[in-house]
Structure 1
Amino acid sequence: MNAVRNHACRENAFEEAGRDAVYRAIFTRRDVRSHFRPDPIDDAVLARLLMAAHHAPSVGFMQPWNFIVIRDMERRQAVRDLFLAAREQELPNIAEERQMLYRKLKLEGICESALNLCITCDRSRSKGSPLGRWHNPEMDIYSTVCAVQNFWLAARAEGIGVGWVSIIDTEALKRALNIPDHVVPIAYLCVGHVSEFAPQPDLERSGWGARLPLSELIMSETFGGGGEDTLKDIAGKMRP
């Protein structure tokens, strides 16, 4: 029986090169804040990225996302002003000993990137269809985040950098982009060609934080449950 199952798994698996490419996109994806180049993104490439995002999983097949492409520099500068204001509001809540490092961090590429993209969630789209949302009403939000991840990984495969600007006032952004009340902006992304993809995430390289060991995050059966020692041992030895 196990032999049959293993054969079925191999039949459905990607060939080695394809499988390696998927993992490469995952492990080398970066939240890009610098290294953007000004040259434009071909519309055919952008359409492929949006198609990848549109094929994200969505609970109840609600597909709650929309994609606002922002090219106008004046509008982008206005959004950057919102970022700068939000950053000043965030600063006092950062531990005092880390505020100097925080000020040095490059946290956006709004005007340097080829274009910006706002991915939104239309919370009315699944109205009257509670499938998957009756007990978990936030699933439309989570589904849209899956679309963001699809876009991001496809962009990495195309050699396109993406940076998520999360330091921004949501209501101010909605006003700037004429987003209706029932629609929620989920991700404001800077998108463009880059001169390089950093070998490490910027925040790790700057000393802001370090990646947690996977082996310490694996639990068995219940939260905090011990066990799965073999799995933890394998995870502890893995390198991306």
Structure 2
Amino acid sequence: VLALILGLGKGYSHAKLLELGMGVIMHDVGKVSLPKEILNKPGRLSTEELEEVKQHPFLGYDVIRKNHDFSINSAHVALQHHERWTGGGYPRGLKGKEIHEFGRITAVADVYDALISKRPYRQAQEPYQAYEYIYSQAGHHFDPDVVRIFTKRIAVYPTGTGVRLSNGLGGNVIRQNKNMPDRPVIRAIYYGEEPLEDPIDIDLARTLNLMIEKVENK
């Protein structure tokens, strides 16, 4: 879904979104050929295991190319989503616009999804932490133009997130501000540890002297 949101931000046609979506659905199909003990290993992979994992883009590309319902553009999603904007990715070490645009889009979507998902070797990150990582890697790991679209279209603090404000008020995100994704509308329901008698709605886009200090699970 995230990759398609980014594609919409690029102004893709319906046909191009379909190509992107079909590629994204199959982007990790090459992992089917990898041993489960590697995919589910709770600890750090050995050098040999890591090299084996790095073959899955080639494997996925071959699977997709054998299916004539998928275009070459869709196949490039599987092949190139682990490449990095400045090089150093795999499997071919491409960089910049050598990387297919679908691969650049899927790289952002894939890493964001991985960060907010629990893995055998680590806990899931909060969405705002994953957002900050994506933002910090613009022009390094990721295409800066794709990251720009990401920051405009993805909420830093998804609706429902519990937060504490810099003035001690705490509550939940109830609405997003489209042009200021890091400053949503908060419904404050407690101060410190004490519940408020009446909730207070605070639009952080209009209350610039306040900021979200931390995320809380209350």
Q: What TM-score results when the alignment is normalised by the length of structure 2?
A: 0.26
- What TM-score results when the alignment is normalised by the length of structure 1? 0.24
